[in-house]
């Protein structure tokens, strides 16, 4: 249960925040758009399972590449990658209820900027989340088709995605590798701190360090005094 609880603590809060951001942006963009811009409709129902599988595979690819850079299979990182990629598609929600909407509100640079700021501020001690979110966004968009309004809500002028797919895929790969590298460095530092703060007995560094564990102070014996930490006896 300890491993599951740790996985849940690492995954659930960022996923909840990402979902809330997608829903908020979808609502705000709908309110800011004119009726002429609300041309987004739901894809054919028969194609939804295939698209869902595509998103899972894209997310898994992002996560596995990050794990390769981290040099271990990190289930939290892998789960977050799949979730970050898949949750962007929640911006289709109004059209699922038959309501015409702006095309793909979360497929915009405004959403990406908001997500970067929100994750960076909320999870200051986990810089890998911002890098992973960027990789996931570019991976999702690179694997998509159709027209986009990347600069909405400033402009709802729609343009084709085609010329940007390859550059976006390359950007996603770069940020995925950076995610794994930063995760390895961050966890390496916290592992080292945890061992110092817990006398070398703790491997669950990320959570134990933040609980205020104190290092075992060494006892030094001299001929006249016993010195424990910074106290003389």
**pTM greater than the 0.75 cutoff:** yes
Provide CB contacts within 8 A for 220, sequence distance 6+: 226, 227, 228
> Which run of H or of E encompasses 182?
helix 165-197
Output the average pLDDT for the chain.
86
Half-sphere exposure in the Cβ direction for 179 (13 Å, CA)? 29
- Percent of the chain beyond pLDDT 70? 81
pLDDT score of 78 more than 80 = yes
Nearest to 173 by CA among 185, 165, 183: 165
CA–CA separation, 204 and 190 (whole Å): 9
Q: Could you report the per-residue pLDDT of 175-233, keeping only the tens digit for each?
A: 999 999 999 998 877 655 555 566 555 445 444 444 445 555 554 454 445 444 445 44
CA–CA separation, 154 and 141 (whole Å): 19
pLDDT of residue 210: 46
What is the residue extent of each domain of the chain?
Answer: 2-232
């Amino acid at each position: 249960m300890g491993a599951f609880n740790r996985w849940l603590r690492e995954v659930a809060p960022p996923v909840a925040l990402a979902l809330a951001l997608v829903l908020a942006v979808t609502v705000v963009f709908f309110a800011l758009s004119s009726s002429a811009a609300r041309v987004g409709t739901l894809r054919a129902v028969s194609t939804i399972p295939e698209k869902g599988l595509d998103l899972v595979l894209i997310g898994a690819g992002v996560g596995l590449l990050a794990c390769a850079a981290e040099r271990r299979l990190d289930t939290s990182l892998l789960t977050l990658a799949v979730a970050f990629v898949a949750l962007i598609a929640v911006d289709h929600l109004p059209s699922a209820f038959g309501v015409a909407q702006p095309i793909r509100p979360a497929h915009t640079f405004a959403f990406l900027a908001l997500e970067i700021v929100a994750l960076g501020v909320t999870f200051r001690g986990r810089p890998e989340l911002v890098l992973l979110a960027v990789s996931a966004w570019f991976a999702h968009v690179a694997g998509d088709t159709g027209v986009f309004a990347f600069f909405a809500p400033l402009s709802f002028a729609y343009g084709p995605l085609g010329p940007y797919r390859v550059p976006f895929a390359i950007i996603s790969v770069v940020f995925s590798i950076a995610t794994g590298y930063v995760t390895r460095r961050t966890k390496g530092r916290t592992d080292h701190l945890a061992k110092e703060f817990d006398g070398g007995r703790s491997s669950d560094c990320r959570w134990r360090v933040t609980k205020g564990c104190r290092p075992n102070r060494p006892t030094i014996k001299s001929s006249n005094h016993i010195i424990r930490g910074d106290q003389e006896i």
